[in-house]
Amino acid sequence: MPASLRTLIERADRFVRSIENARREPDRWEGLCTLQALVDIAAGRTDQAEARLALAKTPPIVRVSPDPPHIPVDCREPTAAELRQALDRIMAQVAAG
């Protein structure tokens, strides 16, 4: 059963908050997967968003490359602040109805 939009936003918020609380920037994998998940959430693609959030949490030792699948190699990774801004925009849109 796919997660609800609200559940996905809460999961993304917890993940971004964990990065912020650790006072670090997301690594390339975490940042790009999370950003793609946020794009999917904003577009209402809950199944894809759920998969990308799970992928963002993949431990480095299990990853087969430094870049997540389907992401161009020359893509710039987002900062924690950029992830927070994107998430806050989505939360504001959902709250506005």
- Cα separation, 62 vs 79, in Å, equals 23
pLDDT of residue 2: 66
End-to-end CA distance of the chain: 24
> Are 76 and 54 a contacting pair, CB within 8 Å?
no
Mean pLDDT of 12-38: 97
Question: What 3-state class would DSSP assign to 76?
Answer: coil
pLDDT in tens, 34-81: 999 999 999 999 999 999 999 999 999 999 887 887 777 778 899 999
Share of the chain above pLDDT 70, in %: 98
Mean pLDDT of 1-5: 78
Q: Where are the domains of the chain?
A: 5-96
pLDDT of residue 16: 98
| Helices 28-42 + 5-21 axis angle, to 10 | 150
